[in-house]
Amino acid sequence: MREFARLFTALDQTTRTNAKVAALAEYFDRAPEADRLWTVAILSGRRPKRAVTATRLREWAAERAGLPLWLFEESYTIVGDLAETIALILPPPAEEVDLPLSHWIAEVRQLAALDEVAKKPRILAAWEALGGTERFLYNKLLTGGFRMGVSQTLMTRALSKATGISEPDLAHRLMGDWSAEATSWEALILTDDPTARLSRPYPFYLAYQIEGAAEDLGPPDDWFAEWKWDGIRGQLICRGGEHFLWSRGEELMTDRFPELAAARDWLPDGTVMDGEILAFADGHPLPFAALQRRIGRKTVPKKVLAEAPVVLMAYDLLEEGGQDIREIPFGERRARLTRLVEDLPPEAPIRLSPEAAFTDWTGLATQREGSREAGVEGLMLKRRAAPYLSGRRKGDWWKWKVDPLTIDAVMIYAQAGHGRRANLYTDFTFAVWDGPDLVPFTKAYSGLTDAEFNRITAWVRKNTLERFGPVRRVTPRHVFEIAFEGIQASTRHKSGVALRFPRMLRWREDKPVEEANTLADLEALLQQYG
Amino acid sequence: MAKPDLLTVAEAGIYCAAGDFYIDPWRPVDRALITHGHADHARPGHARYLATEAAAPVIRYRLGVAVETIRYGEERRIGSTNVSFHPAGHVPGSAQIRVEHKGEVWVASGDYKVAPDRLSEPFEPVRCDTFITECTFGLPIFRWQAEAEAMAEIDAWWAKNRAEGRFSVLGAYALGKAQRLLAGIDSSQGPILTHGAVENVNDVLRGQGLPLPDTLRVTPEIDLKEHPGALVIATPSAMGGPWMKRFGQASTAFASGWMALRGVRRRRAADRGFVISDHADWAGLGQAITETGATRVIATHGYTSVFRRWLEDQGYEAGVITTQYEGESLDAPEEDVVE
């Protein structure tokens, strides 16, 4: 695993894209085929299942290190990462061995089938054989969580460099329902397998939030606008008499949304559409919370099915009559999509995402103001002449979201973050005033700069009133402007509201704590937008 | 009635009533015994300073004060106590301070490191009844590798950058860490440049006879093209600022015990993090405490509450005193200014 550890370290050490691609390409050139394949699998989110519970790992590591469990836990709080804590806390390996990544993955997969008594000696033996980064990576394989700071796009670029196969071809081959156990480097990367093609989705094209003013995009005639729906991105595939529904995270969601099976009755074979899965009733999208009840469920009870029926709000056509039409300009794809969908009866679970027609940017800006009332996040702008690209790219597609809702809130609890943010207080709980009391209503952990996190961390350390495990109650002194995309009534929260995408917009150091918003202010927002 | 503690924490710092002196006080006092020259231990404004012969020059240079000196191991009568200084292995001249009164012995460790490096006087265990210890890295996740291994990593990093025609900028404390690195790396590889704050300390230490390789101070006049692929030793604070611009696409690194943690390493946004600390690691703390033979151990700065509980588990009478020492802080502003 030494080679893989070297790759991991190289990726971990740099934020420069070129350096990452070079390290990966070199690895793909040199590593054994089985290891390359597993690396591709890991980097595209296909990792072996968790082989043992975190609780057992902690106990065994503490025992092996000859330390009481409480001391292990204290150390874990500081490190913020279980795999790393274990790697650091164990004594150095007795005798390091260098076996390939594929060996350790096979080992971890075998572990999953064993009972705990049988697992323990094998895990202890692995800890004895691996040092430093390799031990850390083995633990990551054991615990199932793995992030290497490499996007699928970067990995594909490196693969392309190493194999000479074009990026789009590779991206397409890597999509869909493959697993490293069932395929090989040869079959997955080097050859195009027609049987896998039936269910294989196209890579999604993702947009960035617009940076400057919309006017800067050029003549309005070049652009198409539509609502930016607040649902789950999905790609619906009808091929060979079957249908498949893929998420943006390349998860097959077909069974989770049985309503879409009816699409087979209305769409011809050889059709692939890009769209948004929305909970939808009476011609309107339901709040995201309704859809949320369906996420994560493998099977859907009748009651939920009736209360939160879904449709695919279609906005692009990628394949027509079995032909990949992604190279055709968007304007033409949209016209073909319209022909396919506009006359479908309401029973069909497909809707056409309506065009937000506009003649000038000011007019469009006015339409955008109505987003929140329409239950959408804002607008999408698409260049009519653009092909359907893959990955997140700037230029042809832009999100133009409405400004978030905001409220000024008081920080009352702080908790240290994980990974890169371990040892820094980054996860905060915020409250609003209810008379003389502060009522917590949301958590947020993003939006500040590293420098601000450093400063607030120093402040938290000095202003802790109470500790509950890793959580510190702090003096209510600092006001933050919290931004969020939506607000819903909630029985699960003390404040009675649940926010969508809360984050810290600004640290309001100018604002005294008494001037933070109140529960009544929140309730007014709920009345207006809930 | 129990005997009063020989050393206590008063408002100005760690105080010995029997000798009427302070150890590393943080507010101005009449008589200050100083363990070493780092800014959180040697502060300005005291009437009298006492430090080891090797520590005194830097303290004089930094604070502009008169410093009385004492040899390692030399016993001196102060008030009704006998006081002596013993090597702490932290930086050149650093000391643990032993205080004896009516047969009872206390040792205040200051900052210390048990494993030897190529510059500081090696740590010497001192027998005592009560040991006041730092515990900056008082968690079992901290384990330092051998000096030679750590230095070899830096050498390899420098060599690679040199081959790519890039500067290697290494962030380290101006006093102690910087010189330890200079003494430990393979200085024959190429030219070594230094930030002014580092070079000032180099001058002082060279003046007292410490062997350091040749270095060149970075000034606005210097032509960097004449020193391609040089190693640059900089203060951590300089590395975040405009001073860095002149080195272009340099590879950057920090040398600190905190670099053992991946999260910290990544947050520092340097290309590399070398795990090199001038403080004791977990095993080092344990070893030092055992070798004192102390039955009572008091933790000062670091993971004090965890460390205290661990000590109690081990059967020690343990305590914590709150001090204003910072240990190895990554984010503390560097105290030195470049003239």
Q: Do A419 and B263 count as a contact with CB atoms less than 8 A apart?
A: yes
A457 touches chain B (CB under 8 A): no
A203 touches chain B (CB under 8 A): no
Query: Tokens 């004090």 identify what position?
Result: B304
**Nearest one of B173, B139, B334 to A423, comparing CA atoms:** B139
For every residue of chain B, which 3-state class applies, written as one string?
A: CCCCCCCEEECCEEEECCCCEEECCCCCCCEEECCCCCCCCCCCCCCEEEEECCCHHHHHHHHCCCCEEECECCCEEECCEEEEEEECCCCCCCEEEEEEECCEEEEECCCCCCCCCCCCCCCCCCCCCEEEEEECCCCCCCCCCCHHHHHHHHHHHHHHHHHCCCCEEEECCCCCHHHHHHHHCCHHHCCEEECHHHHHHHHHHHHCCCCCCCCEECCCCCCHHHCCCCEEEECHHHHCCHHHHHHCCCEEEEECHHHHCHHHHHHCCCCEEECCCCCCCHHHHHHHHHHHCCCEEEEEEECHHHHHHHHHHCCCEEEECCCCCCCCCCCCCCCCCCC
All residues of chain A having their beta carbon less than 8 Å from the beta carbon of residue B310 are: 71
Q: Tell me how crowded residue A53 is: count the other CB atoms within 10 A of its CB.
A: 12
Q: Do A84 and B272 count as a contact with CB atoms less than 8 A apart?
A: no
All residues of chain A having their beta carbon less than 8 Å from the beta carbon of residue B140 are: 65, 67, 71-72, 75, 88-89
Tokens (6 digits) for B335:
């105290």
Per-residue confidence (pLDDT) for residue A333, from 0 to 100: 97
B282 touches chain A (CB under 8 A): no
Lowest mean pLDDT among A282-291, A362-371, A436-445: A282-291
**Nearest one of A529, A502, A530 to A411, comparing CA atoms:** A502
Residue in B139, B265, B282, B331 to test binding to A, most A beta-carbons within 10 Å: B139
Distance from CA of A89 to the nearest CA of B (A): 5
d(CA A485, CA A488): 10
Distance from CA of A223 to the nearest CA of B (A): 40
Per-residue confidence (pLDDT) for residue A196, from 0 to 100: 62
Residue in A8, A72, A89 to test binding to B, most B beta-carbons within 10 Å: A89
Average pLDDT, chain A: 89
Q: What is the pLDDT of residues A205-236, one digit of tens each?
A: 999 989 888 899 999 999 999 999 989 999 99
Q: Do A14 and B260 count as a contact with CB atoms less than 8 A apart?
A: no
Residue B1 has pLDDT above 70, yes or no: no
- Is there a contact between B170 and B255 (Cβ–Cβ < 8 Å)? yes
* Closest by Cβ to B272, choosing from A13, A80, A454: A13
Q: What is the pLDDT of residues A447-503, one digit of tens each?
A: 888 888 888 988 888 888 887 767 889 999 999 999 998 888 888 777 888 898 899
Q: pTM (2 decimals)?
A: 0.76
B269 touches chain A (CB under 8 A): yes
- With CA atoms as reference, the chain B residue closest to A133 would be B262
* Dihedrals phi, psi of A155, to nearest 5 degrees: -65, -40
Per-residue confidence (pLDDT) for residue B336, from 0 to 100: 37
User: Coil, helix or strand for A299?
Assistant: coil
The alpha carbon of residue B220 and the mean position of all alpha carbons in its chain are separated, in whole angstroms, by: 30
B90 touches chain A (CB under 8 A): no
Distance from CA of A61 to the nearest CA of B (A): 12
Going from the C-alpha of A96 to that of each of A126, A510, B81, B232, the distances in angstroms are 9, 56, 53, 34
All residues of chain B having their beta carbon less than 8 Å from the beta carbon of residue A454 are: 331
Query: Tokens 């670091």 identify what position?
Result: B302
Q: What is the pLDDT of residues B53-107, one digit of tens each?
A: 999 999 999 999 999 999 999 999 999 999 999 999 999 999 999 999 999 999 9
- Which ipTM value was assigned to this complex? 0.92
| Catalytic residue, candidates A20, A120, A140, A228 | A228
Residue A430 has pLDDT above 90, yes or no: yes
Q: Do B263 and A423 count as a contact with CB atoms less than 8 A apart?
A: yes
Q: What is the DSSP string of A340-383?
A: HHTT--TTSSEEE--B---SSHHHHHHHHHTHHHHTS-EEEEEE
- Is there a contact between A499 and A441 (Cβ–Cβ < 8 Å)? yes
Higher pLDDT, A255 or A353: A353
Give Cβ neighbours of residue A117 (< 8 Å, ≥ 6 apart): none
Q: What is the DSSP string of A374-440?
A: HTS-EEEEEETT-----EE-SSSEEEEEPPPEEEEEEEEEEEE--GGGTTSEEEEEEEEEETTEEEE
Task: Please say if A298 is a catalytic residue.
Answer: no
Q: Do B141 and A71 count as a contact with CB atoms less than 8 A apart?
A: no
Q: What is the pLDDT of residues A330-370, one digit of tens each?
A: 999 999 999 999 889 988 999 999 999 999 999 999 999 98
